[in-house]
Amino acid sequence: MEPIIQLTHQPLDRAALVEAVSHPSDGGIVVFEGIVRDNARGKQVHYLEYEVYEEMARQQIAQIIAEAQQRWQIEHVAVAHRFGRLEIGEASVIIVVATPHRSEAFDACRYIIDTLKNTVPIWKKEVATNGEAWVEG
């Protein structure tokens, strides 16, 4: 199955992504969901603004998934990232990995989110009560 890659302004739909990735041959599904929290480095966060270099981000995410598929036996993967303005409590990223056995699903999901943060051209601006700034890492 081709991996699902979503870059969207719209709220992310966890149930739909899990449904799309589920397969009778898989015994485990691991979902990672990243949420906008109300504080960072001692500041009160008002909201976040994500920006994406879409063509390149899509390509980089596909490459990360391909690398994960070489390391672990994972056939069913979805990676969704939202951009634009996100409020506290909303999901910025959802990664779903379905595998025959659980340990590979955990390992691959962890690998995908960690690598995504480092190499996919997506940026986050924190708008806090005392000003706004692009956040690194």
Rounded CA-CA distance 112/97 in Å is 10
Contact assessment for residue 47 and residue 36, using Cβ atoms and an 8 Å cutoff: yes
Contact call for residue 76 and another protein (CB under 8 A): no
Query: At its nearest, how many Å lie between another protein and the CB of residue 134?
Result: 5
Query: At its nearest, how many Å lie between another protein and the CB of residue 65?
Result: 15
Window contacting another protein (CB under 8 A); options: 14-22, 54-62, 69-77, 97-105: 54-62
Contact assessment for residue 77 and residue 4, using Cβ atoms and an 8 Å cutoff: yes
Residue among 94, 93, 88, 90 at smallest CA distance from 39:
88
Nearer to another protein, 76 or 81 (CB): 81
Contact assessment for residue 27 and residue 74, using Cβ atoms and an 8 Å cutoff: no
Contact call for residue 87 and another protein (CB under 8 A): no
Q: Site for another protein (CB under 8 A): which residue of 45, 53, 75, 110?
A: 53
Site for another protein in 110-129 (CB under 8 A): 113, 116-125
Contact call for residue 136 and another protein (CB under 8 A): yes
Q: Site for another protein (CB under 8 A): which residue of 1, 56, 66, 88?
A: 56
Q: Print burial letters for 101-122: b (CB count within 10 Å at least 16), e (below 16).
A: eeebbbbbbebbbebbeeebeb
Rounded CA-CA distance 126/115 in Å is 21
Which residues form the interface with another protein (CB under 8 A)?
34-37, 50-53, 55-57, 59, 81, 92-93, 113, 116-125, 134-137
